[in-house]
Amino acid sequence: MTFLKTLKPSGPLVVGCTDIMIGRTKEGSLLRLFYPTDAKELPQDESQWTRWYLGDSYSRGLGKFVAPWFLQGTFAWLLNWQTRYSLVPSAWCSNLLSGDKKLPVVVFSHGLGANRSMYSSVCCQLASHGFVVAALEHRDGSACSSFTLNEEGEKEWLEFELHKPGDKQIVLRSKQIGIRVKECQSTLTIMERLNSGGVENELKNAFDIRQLIGRLDLSRPIIAGHSFGGCAAINTQLQDKRFKLCVALDPWLFPMKDSVELCSKMEKHVLCVSTDTFQTPENLEAMSHLPSQLTSFVTIKGTVHQNQADTPFLLGTAGRLIGGTNSKLDHSLAMEINNALMMAFIHSHHGLPKGLSDEYGERWDAFVAEHQSKLVYGLYGTARKMIGWNKTGL
């Protein structure tokens, strides 16, 4: 049987993946860790690969986010049917790359209605080049679902929080962005604790977190995210000087519309990669507050918002049409260009982990140059409506 898969990473290292929970309550952290391994190739037995699907609760939460109330159950059933056996090209709970080389860290924040698994194509790409990526799952009500553990170790579910009719959406989103920033900061602190040792993974699996002791390069961590997560990444970079670089994919800045002028205080380099059918004049105006001398703006033509997530790979042709994730540009090429822009930016301002040749940086530059006709530099977008700015959605 052939299962749907997210995009295979193009780096020289085989990727491993595991889930880690530090602390059982909402104040703790739940994250999916993507990391390089010693393996020469992925296991031929795909049952040893990472499962993308997280469970029915996540499908129901996505249905609650994207579908009208009378279709939410049907949407969740269809999503379960379509993605239940979907795979991520990474080895589940494989051992960390051996040796004494320290591995740089990326913290990744997901978008509204998403989860820790939704950006595996992006996170695997980074890990295949030697980065350790902590894709956190937010507990602010903006994830499609999440969970904590009670004293008996049983899951207690946290549902997606809908914007209440009649309430101003900015009230909920500005509250959530504050929580998200704290969660991003906490995730980096947890990475520091994992590097030092003495912490316990509340999720019992085969990955020994002691492998991470002394192996993380925390001197210049990167903060990244998509959509609401892009807004969280920018805000986290503004507030936490530990982060040295910011990657914002299609950032949705409505949650900080009352404080957007703070963007002008950015002191680190930022990459904003946008899709042309998502960005609106209002959101672009907000993005323009980022310092031009430190910010690289680029848009991939012929793309939709979900081209920077995994969903186009997992829904099939009919699902992409029905789910609004179909794009003029081929979805695999769109993700490859997105990842190339991200890797070229990181290589330029951060460098690749020690032991990887500059050849890879040159490859990204060449790939981006090959697809210049599909790119627009500067602030650009063709959308006219966006959640929040135009009183649409939710």
Q: What does 52-70 look like in DSSP terms, one character per residue?
A: ----HHHHHHHHHHHS-GG
Angle of helix 72-83 relative to helix 56-66, nearest 10 degrees, comes to 130
- Among 172, 180, 162, smallest CA distance to 108 is for 180
Dmax (CA) of the chain: 57
- Among 385, 173, 174, 387, smallest CA distance to 281 is for 385
- The H-or-E segment that residue 347 falls in is helix 331-349
Strand partners, 248: 225, 272
State the burial class of residue 219 (Cβ atoms within 10 Å of its Cβ: 0-12, 13-18, 19+).
Answer: exposed
Residues serving a catalytic function are 227, 250, 305
Residue 48's φ and ψ, nearest 5 degrees, are -90, 0
| CA angle (199 as vertex; 180, 211 as ends), nearest 5 | 105
Q: Are 86 and 4 in contact, with CB atoms under 8 Å apart?
A: yes
Q: Are 306 and 279 in contact, with CB atoms under 8 Å apart?
A: no
Strands 132-136 and 103-109: parallel
